[in-house]
């Protein structure tokens, strides 16, 4: 028998006669360091190590996560109401852990408040508690538009506290309002934050346990000629012991540090000696449990998370509903990190251990999320919680049917497939994501580059509305609102464009680009006063901006032209409160004119020019201006306060020979011929009738000035929609018919005096 001693074999492997056999692993080895590095290393227990994050970063979440939390909380509220557990005279608080998790908290609160009334829970007063120890973060959150609204409604509070705080949970919000902790159970949400709290790291080596102590080493401290490949490799090697030092220095970030570990043989009883009466037996029993299993693996015990949850339980004596989601502690042990980023590192957490502190207290359910290494747990420590089976079922069903992990995988795959998808497929993905702003953000660059979709624009506008409803602005770096606003402009979704630009400025302050876009949207919706004010403010910020200068020049030219038109009263138009306005067509209307006019039946009904290319309309524009100068025709745009351009009107002025003149060439009165149309996106919504009514009132107001007494028009006899609009608007059919069959034309007239 020959035994092969191969230094390249992994620990726990033995080769006999060419066959590899597994043998018990060796005890963990500490990192091998040069003498000068060892002297500068200050090893600390993992609980006190300096590699943990100093604050919780904004967690990753999608709309599927929001749906899981909202569904679970609503189910619990139903069962709590049925069990008469709640005091409806006092708030039911939801505590969102982590100061940077406010966007997730605001989204959950918004969805809950939308749902409770429709689900018969309107007598419950929900209030979300946000945490922030830093005064600057408190100020930013208080100035957040969504939080401000909820705060006014007594549905959101801030407490001066965070999950890293060693203080007890405060019983008063920063505005001085009391937090009522004794009337109702608390709902506590910890989304991906507990793994960022310090944990105690151990190596269980069969019947022994080793405590990990850590030190961080700057790359600058590592000597250039130090080659660790010639040394024995430790059980948890440093990154610079795996490759040549020169490669590490060229690849590593300047502020990234290496992590060194020192293993110390430990005793379970002495390890737990510094903890309180509740956690002491928990840690000791945990270590003894793993030792009894006879395993060899690295574990992390979430001591700080356990202390946090215990403090929350103490603060709310009526019980706590915990919704905890995080990265799962691997079954076969942790793989410790080798480097430390400036933001710090976290470790996967054993959520099951947290709920073994008081095993017989209430209801606990753990769900391993499909397609991911994350887990979600719900625990309820309030009265009769063991009977709350509907809540558990709702949570489990939400995780399976709308798996957050599945949504995340789809999100990642979409980032590589944006160019390959059709517009309909993009709509489908955004819809299936529950209108997740994160998914919409993937497609925004492509959609903006292509100029926005042309087809199915109403569906796109509705889609953007739903996406915006799910978006919570980032009070430190809001970019999504601006980009979504640009797409809204491309889609002529002016109401959303205004909202996005105003929100961006509310968060980040006034900007030339936002004010320019706001002016553009105001002009498109007929609010010229706001349009001019916006571009003037933009020029105050940047007097040399060419886009703003061009927009202002075009506006002033348009207003000057409007002021000279005899058939348009600028002052009367500005004083109108109607959502629909009759404005002279401008060159800025042409793009939307073409899009709304291009349905073939619109030109057929008008007996008008069929536009197959935008250039045709641009050529017609010059003809219209000439007709305007000769006072032959008036070309109007129908402008809606929300939708902008929705259709067109043409008034052709004609001389009428009065009765009794016997053809002597004297014309005392004029008549006008009316043509109107409503765009393809806005038909069958009542705009035809309201447009004709607006036209009639406009011409009646100017009838004396223009010397017009009669308005006439015509329609194909088979165009029953237009004929009905004319008749209900006061037009009378006259005894005149032209053509036959489908070419038969009927005529109408209306007295303006």
CATH of residue 742: 3.40.630.30
Q: Tell me the C-alpha distance between 69 and 391, whole Å.
A: 11
- Beta bridge partners, 748, equal 713, 733
User: If 0-12 CB within 10 Å is exposed, 13-18 middle and 19+ buried, where does residue 43 land?
Assistant: middle
Q: What is the mean pLDDT of residues 743-752?
A: 92
Does a structural domain hold residue 466? no
Of 716, 711, 742, the closest CA to residue 729 belongs to: 711
Q: pTM of the prediction?
A: 0.83
Q: What is the residue-averaged pLDDT of the chain?
A: 86
Does a structural domain hold residue 703? yes
In this prediction, residue 232 has a pLDDT band, given cuts at 50, 70 and 90, of: very low
Decide if pLDDT at 10 tops 60: no
Highest mean pLDDT among 68-72, 414-418, 655-659: 68-72
Decide if pLDDT at 243 tops 80: no
Decide if pLDDT at 252 tops 60: no
Could you read off the pLDDT of 555-578 as tens digits, one per residue?
A: 999 999 999 998 998 666 654 557
Does a structural domain hold residue 54? no
In this prediction, residue 36 carries a pLDDT of: 59
Q: What is the mean pLDDT of residues 173-184?
A: 94
Does a structural domain hold residue 364? no
Of 175, 159, 138, the closest CA to residue 93 belongs to: 159
251 within 8 A of 168, measured Cβ to Cβ: no
Does a structural domain hold residue 627? yes
Of 314, 341, 316, the closest CA to residue 50 belongs to: 341
In the chain, how many domains are there?
2
Q: Tell me the C-alpha distance between 273 and 3, whole Å.
A: 46
Decide if pLDDT at 75 tops 70: yes
Does a structural domain hold residue 325? no
Q: What is the mean pLDDT of residues 14-38?
A: 75
In this prediction, residue 615 has a pLDDT band, given cuts at 50, 70 and 90, of: very high
* Helix, coil or strand: residue 129: strand
Does a structural domain hold residue 730? yes
Give the phi and the psi of residue 189 in degrees, each rounded to 5.
-115, 125
In this prediction, residue 344 carries a pLDDT of: 87
Does a structural domain hold residue 212? no
In this prediction, residue 248 has a pLDDT band, given cuts at 50, 70 and 90, of: very low
Decide if pLDDT at 676 tops 80: yes
- Domain of residue 577: give its range: 570-751
């Amino acid at each position: 028998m020959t035994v092969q001693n191969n230094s390249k074999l992994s620990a726990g492997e033995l080769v006999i006669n060419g066959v590899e056999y597994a043998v018990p692993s060796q005890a963990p080895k500490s990192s091998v360091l040069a003498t000068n590095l060892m002297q500068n290393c200050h090893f600390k227990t993992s609980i006190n190590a300096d590699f943990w994050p100093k604050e919780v970063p904004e967690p990753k979440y999608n709309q599927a996560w929001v749906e899981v939390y909202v569904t679970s909380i609503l189910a619990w509220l139903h069962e709590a109401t049925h069990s008469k557990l709640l005091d409806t005279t006092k708030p039911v608080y939801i505590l969102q852990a982590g100061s940077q998790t406010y966007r997730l908290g605001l989204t959950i609160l918004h969805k809950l408040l939308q749902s409770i009334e429709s689900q018969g829970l309107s007598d419950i007063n929900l209030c979300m508690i946000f945490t922030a120890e830093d005064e600057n973060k408190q100020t930013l959150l208080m100035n957040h538009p969504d939080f401000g609204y909820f705060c006014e409604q007594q549905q959101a509070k801030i407490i001066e506290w965070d999950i890293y705080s060693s203080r007890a949970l405060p019983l008063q919000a920063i505005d001085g309002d009391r937090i009522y902790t004794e009337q109702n159970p608390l709902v506590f949400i910890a989304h991906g934050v507990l793994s960022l709290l310090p944990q105690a790291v151990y190596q269980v080596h069969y019947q022994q346990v080793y405590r990990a102590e850590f030190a961080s080493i700057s790359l600058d401290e590592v000597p250039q000629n130090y080659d660790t490949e010639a040394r024995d490799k430790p059980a948890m090697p440093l990154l610079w012991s795996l490759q040549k030092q020169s490669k590490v220095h060229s690849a590593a970030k300047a502020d990234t540090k290496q992590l060194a570990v020192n293993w110390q043989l430990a005793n379970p009883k002495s390890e737990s000696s510094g903890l309180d009466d509740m956690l002491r037996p928990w840690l000791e029993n945990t270590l003894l449990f793993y030792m009894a299993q006879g395993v060899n693996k690295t574990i992390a015990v979430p001591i700080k998370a356990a202390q946090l949850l215990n403090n929350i339980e103490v603060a709310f004596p009526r019980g706590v509903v915990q919704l905890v989601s995080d990265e799962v502690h691997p079954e076969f042990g942790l793989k410790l990190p080798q480097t430390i980023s400036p933001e710090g590192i976290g470790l996967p957490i054993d959520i099951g251990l947290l709920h073994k502190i008081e095993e017989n207290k209430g209801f606990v359910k753990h769900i391993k999320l499909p397609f991911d290494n994350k887990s979600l747990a719900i625990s309820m420590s309030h009265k009769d919680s063991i009977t709350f089976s509907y809540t558990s079922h709702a949570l489990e069903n939400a995780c399976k049917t709308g798996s957050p992990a599945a949504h995340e995988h789809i999100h990642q795959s979409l980032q590589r497939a944006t160019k390959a998808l059709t517009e309909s497929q993009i709509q489908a993905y955004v819809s299936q994501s529950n209108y997740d702003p994160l998914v919409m953000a993937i497609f925004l660059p492509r959609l903006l580059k292509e100029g926005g979709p042309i087809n199915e624009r109403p569906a796109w506008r509705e889609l953007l509305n739903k996406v915006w409803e799910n978006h919570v602005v980032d009070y430190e770096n809001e970019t999504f609102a601006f980009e979504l606003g640009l797409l809204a402009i491309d889609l002529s979704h002016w109401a959303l464009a205004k909202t996005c630009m105003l929100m961006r400025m509310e968060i980040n302050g006034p900007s030339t680009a936002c004010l320019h876009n706001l002016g553009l949207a105001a002009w498109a919706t007929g609010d010229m006063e706001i349009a001019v004010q916006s571009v003037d403010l933009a020029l105050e910020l940047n007097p040399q901006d060419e886009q703003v200068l061009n927009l202002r020049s075009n506006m002033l030219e348009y207003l000057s032209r409007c002021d000279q038109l005899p058939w348009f009263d600028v002052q009367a138009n500005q004083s109108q409160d109607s959502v629909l306005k009759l404005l002279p067509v401008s060159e800025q209307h042409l793009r939307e004119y073409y899009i709304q006019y291009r349905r073939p039946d619109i030109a057929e009904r008008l007996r008008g020019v069929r536009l197959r290319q935008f250039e045709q309309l641009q050529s017609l524009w010059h003809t219209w201006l000439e007709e305007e100068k000769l006072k032959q025709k008036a070309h109007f745009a129908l402008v809606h306060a929300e939708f902008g351009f929705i259709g067109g009107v043409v008034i052709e002025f004609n001389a009428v020979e009065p009765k009794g003149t016997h053809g002597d060439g004297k014309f005392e009165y004029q008549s006008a011929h009316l043509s109107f149309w409503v765009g393809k996106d806005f038909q069958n919504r009542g705009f035809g009738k309201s447009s004709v009514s607006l036209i009639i009132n406009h011409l009646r107001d100017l009838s004396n000035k223009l010397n017009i007494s009669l308005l006439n028009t015509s329609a194909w006899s088979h165009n029953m929609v237009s004929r009905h609009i004319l008749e209900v608007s006061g037009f009378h059919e006259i005894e005149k018919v032209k053509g036959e069959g489908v070419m038969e034309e009927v005529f109408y007239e209306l007295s303006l005096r």
